[in-house]
Structure 1
């Protein structure tokens, strides 16, 4: 049985993949540059999600306005763990949340058809004071997953959902060092409303 609060991700020895959905103008500019550039905003928090299926739910399989392009953002594990080390749960004391460089919240994991499951996926909000570091130092590569997302969605919509999972990334439990407080964050695990 999957633990109720557990970080699951596509990762290797050095990097971890997180997902984001953007409007075409932002995605195209980022893919050309290999990192985020204008019209991406560096003045607002950006949310990264290691759960592919949760982002499919959030973006309605890349059909929501402003979320028509799905990017796999490969970042260093060092950067990911640095973010977790600075994270404050969005359900914590409001003053602490307001001052935090990184926000964390847990939302129900989703099935391919969008049903809420009985375990949760982590979202990490990178605050505007840390976004430049995320962009300049942590990002290793950006990949456009939109064609794969559309193909998987078409399979699900046409009654061939059993064929869709072969297009999904493989996510497995991420070994978060306990020194980061990752487990403490996980155990706190209060779920809040969905964010971008």
Structure 2
């Protein structure tokens, strides 16, 4: 069956969804140890969360890029994630979704969440024809993410390195078996209707 152009795919349970971020060890390791983001994590800056593991690998270069050496799986409350979707605006102007560019710019300034759709990636980190969600959280959304929605934080760096080693050796089947099992996220269509033409 053909993948829709835009769909939220994620690891999720009854009440939580897993998103990924990558940080330097001085932020990532205390976050894993304490199960929450440390005080030095800036709650007043925009932070981008990604439900796609392979998109995170593309962004952080399999946890090799400077400042992104620690990959975190952040399990957050689904009701928080869905609040973020309901209070979101697209990160770029789209004719048919917004009446005009000025209206979009006003909306962008007034909402705490931004949505961006980027090409999903394969094991070689090459773009696929369908797109994956990135969610930018600022202001109230960033604070809620760090201090209310977060349930657990796990270090995915060893898994990222293991999969990368398998990909480099050409063992794609074994690499694929280790990937987090992402599924289409339920109810996402209703949550995103205000962002479609």
- 1:168 equivalent to 2:179? Answer yes
Aligned partners of 2:22, 2:187: CA distance in 1, in Å? Answer: 25
TM-score (norm 2): 0.90
TM-score (norm 1): 0.90
Aligned partners of 1:157, 1:33: CA distance in 2, in Å? Answer: 33
Match of 1:121 in 2: 132
Closer, same or farther in 2 for the Cα pair 1:108/1:102, shift >3 Å?
Answer: same
Name the SS for the 1:121 alignment partner.
strand
For residue 163 of structure 2, the aligned residue among 120, 135, 152 is: 152
- 1:32 equivalent to 2:33? Answer yes
Matches within 5 A, 1:63-78: 63-78=64-79
Q: CA deviation at 1:128?
A: 2.6
Aligned partners of 2:139, 2:34: CA distance in 1, in Å? Answer: 20
Match of 2:109 in 1: 98
Aligned partners of 1:68, 1:98: CA distance in 2, in Å? Answer: 31
Q: If you compute each CA radius of gyration, which structure gives the higher value, 1 or 2?
A: 2
Q: CA deviation at 1:39?
A: 2.5
User: Do 1:152 and 1:164's aligned partners in 2 also have CA atoms closer than 8 Å?
Assistant: yes
Q: CA deviation at 1:163?
A: 1.1
Report runs of 4+ in structure 1 exceeding 2 Å deviation. Answer: 176-180
The runs of 5 or more residues in structure 1 that have no matched partner are 189-196
Q: CA deviation at 1:42?
A: 1.3
The runs of 5 or more residues in structure 2 that have no matched partner are 94-103
Matches within 5 A, 1:129-140: 129-140=140-151
Aligned partners of 2:150, 2:193: CA distance in 1, in Å? Answer: 24
Paired residue total: 186
User: Do 2:20 and 2:49's aligned partners in 1 also have CA atoms closer than 8 Å?
Assistant: yes
Aligned partners of 2:114, 2:121: CA distance in 1, in Å? Answer: 21
Question: Which is further off, 72-81 or 90-99?
Answer: 90-99
Match of 1:62 in 2: 63
Match of 1:15 in 2: 16
